[in-house]
């Protein structure tokens, strides 16, 4: 069934912080025109990061004569398409998604998207496997004989799932798959309609918090070291990482959960005005500590990481700022 693509300090309670940033803003009339960031679903880290970007930039909107708005989407693939089609000015996507778009593979088979440009590198996302404790799933191989949600065909979650099963030795024919949007999988897991789901996401995440707080006890499943090494060797954009458990006190197990990480990137088109991109990056970087405090997913981001994007070229406006700041060559 799978087609496998080649890999080339807060003071509010955590739940309150996530809900506050996930909630769509009240529509208000502003004198400045708006440009939008396509940002994934409202439960995810991309939406939270986009909201933080908009908040920081919009403090100077009167000076710049423009505002930034956050709009939800169906995920990274939709974000790329929205930017390519000119429906939004910016998007947030994982580096691997951007890689596939520029190579013309996956959802863009035969249609290379060469006009994408990076603005700033953002938070870390991890391949996170959430499973019900009552199904005795302790490692990836225990998914054999289970009901597993892998996301919608064409999504990055679906692709990672395909690769994990292909390389782990677990026969897909011995797993019952469902293809619900991953943001909705927490509901199916708590209702005992599935036993686990695979979600590539930044933490903390509202969906994981929700599912780990229900009556059915949950845990995060680690990946074996050989599998991690195999996948990260195939594609250097992926790297070993730990899925955090400290954000989810309701989990059955608290501790280190080895898995695979991938970086999220704010991107735009090559024809986006250089001065607009320069001002956006400048506002984020000159208010970097304030930016990172907007959501826990941004806490660990460093200035050097923010300026380090290799999967697609930096937009000239971003490159200009990072050169001036000594963060890029």
pLDDT tens digits along 127-151: 999 999 999 999 999 999 999 999 9
| Peptide bond before residue 312 is cis, with ω within 30 degrees of 0 | no
- Mean pLDDT on 79-107: 96
Q: In this structure, are strands 147-149 and 176-178 parallel, antiparallel, or unpaired?
A: parallel
Q: What local confidence, expressed as pLDDT, does residue 41 receive?
A: 86
Q: Is the pLDDT of residue 27 over 50?
A: no
Question: Confidence class of residue 171 from pLDDT cuts 50, 70 and 90?
Answer: very high
Average pLDDT, the chain: 90
Q: What local confidence, expressed as pLDDT, does residue 166 receive?
A: 92
What is the DSSP secondary-structure string of 226-238? HHHHHHHHH-TTS
Q: Is the pLDDT of residue 12 over 60?
A: no
Please tell me the least confidently modeled range out of 73-77, 115-119, 213-217, 262-266: 73-77
Q: Is the pLDDT of residue 14 over 60?
A: no
Q: In this structure, are strands 90-94 and 196-201 parallel, antiparallel, or unpaired?
A: unpaired
pLDDT tens sequence across 199-242: 999 999 988 999 999 999 999 999 999 999 999 999 999 999 99
At 51, give phi and psi (nearest 5°): -65, -40
- Mean pLDDT on 102-122: 95
Q: Is the pLDDT of residue 1 over 90?
A: no
Question: Confidence class of residue 30 from pLDDT cuts 50, 70 and 90?
Answer: low
Q: Is the pLDDT of residue 73 over 80?
A: yes
- Mean pLDDT on 78-89: 96
Please tell me the least confidently modeled range out of 1-10, 112-121, 168-177: 1-10
Calpha distance 150→160 (Å, rounded): 9
Q: What local confidence, expressed as pLDDT, does residue 29 receive?
A: 52
Q: Is the pLDDT of residue 155 over 80?
A: yes
Domains annotated on the chain, with CATH: 14-123+264-324 (3.40.190.10), 126-262 (3.40.190.10)
- pTM, to two decimals: 0.87
Q: Is the pLDDT of residue 329 over 80?
A: no
What is the DSSP secondary-structure string of 161-211? HHHHHHHH---GGGSEEE---GGGHHHHHHTTS-SEEEEEE-SS-HHHHHH
Is 189 exposed, middle or buried (CB count within 10 Å of its CB: 0-12, 13-18, 19+)? buried
Question: Confidence class of residue 10 from pLDDT cuts 50, 70 and 90?
Answer: very low
Question: Confidence class of residue 40 from pLDDT cuts 50, 70 and 90?
Answer: confident
Are 79 and 93 in contact, with CB atoms under 8 Å apart?
yes
- Mean pLDDT on 245-259: 95
Q: What local confidence, expressed as pLDDT, does residue 32 receive?
A: 73
Q: What local confidence, expressed as pLDDT, does residue 106 receive?
A: 87
Q: Is the pLDDT of residue 26 over 80?
A: no
**Nearest alpha-carbon partner for 35 in 70, 72, 59, 73:** 70
Report CA-CA distances (Å) from 264 to 49, 64, 167, 215, 261: 10, 26, 24, 32, 10
pLDDT tens sequence across 279-306: 999 999 999 999 999 999 999 999 999 9
- Mean pLDDT on 185-206: 95
Q: What local confidence, expressed as pLDDT, does residue 59 receive?
A: 96
- Give the 3-state secondary structure percentages of the chain, helix then strand then coil, rounded to 5: 40, 20, 40
The residue with tokens 């080339």 is 8
């Amino acid at each position: 069934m799978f087609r496998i693509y080649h890999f080339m300090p807060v003071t509010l309670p955590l739940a309150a912080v996530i809900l506050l940033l996930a909630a769509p803003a009240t529509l208000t009339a502003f004198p400045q025109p708006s440009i939008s960031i396509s940002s994934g679903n409202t439960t995810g880290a991309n939406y939270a990061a986009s909201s933080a970007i908009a908040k920081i930039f919009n403090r100077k909107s009167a000076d710049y004569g423009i505002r930034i708005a956050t709009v939800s989407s169906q995920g990274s693939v939709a974000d790329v398409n929205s930017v390519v089609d000119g429906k939004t000015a910016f998007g947030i996507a994982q580096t691997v998604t951007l890689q596939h778009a520029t190579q013309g593979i996956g959802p863009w088979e035969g249609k290379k998207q060469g006009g994408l440009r990076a603005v700033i590198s953002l938070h870390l996302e991890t391949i996170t496997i959430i499973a019900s404790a009552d199904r005795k799933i302790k490692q990836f191989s225990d998914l054999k004989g289970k009901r597993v949600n892998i996301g919608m065909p064409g999504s990055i979650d679906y692709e990672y799932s395909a690769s994990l099963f292909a390389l782990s030795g677990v026969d897909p024919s011995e797993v019952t798959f469902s293809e619900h949007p991953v943001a909705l999988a927490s509901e199916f897991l708590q209702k005992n309609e599935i036993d686990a789901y695979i979600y590539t996401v930044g933490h903390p995440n509202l969906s994981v918090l929700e599912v780990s707080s229900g009556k059915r006890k949950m845990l995060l499943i680690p990946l074996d070291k050989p599998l991690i090494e195999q996948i990260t060797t195939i594609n250097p954009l992926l790297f070993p990482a730990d899925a955090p458990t400290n954000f989810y006190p309701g989990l059955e197990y608290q501790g280190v959960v080895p898995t695979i990480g991938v970086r999220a990137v704010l991107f735009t088109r090559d024809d986006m005005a250089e001065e607009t991109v320069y001002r956006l990056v400048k506002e984020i970087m000159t208010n970097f500590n304030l930016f990172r405090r907007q959501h826990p997913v941004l806490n660990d981001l460093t200035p050097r990481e923010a300026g380090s994007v290799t999967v697609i070229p930096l937009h000239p406006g971003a490159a200009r700022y990072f050169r001036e700041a000594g963060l890029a060559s």
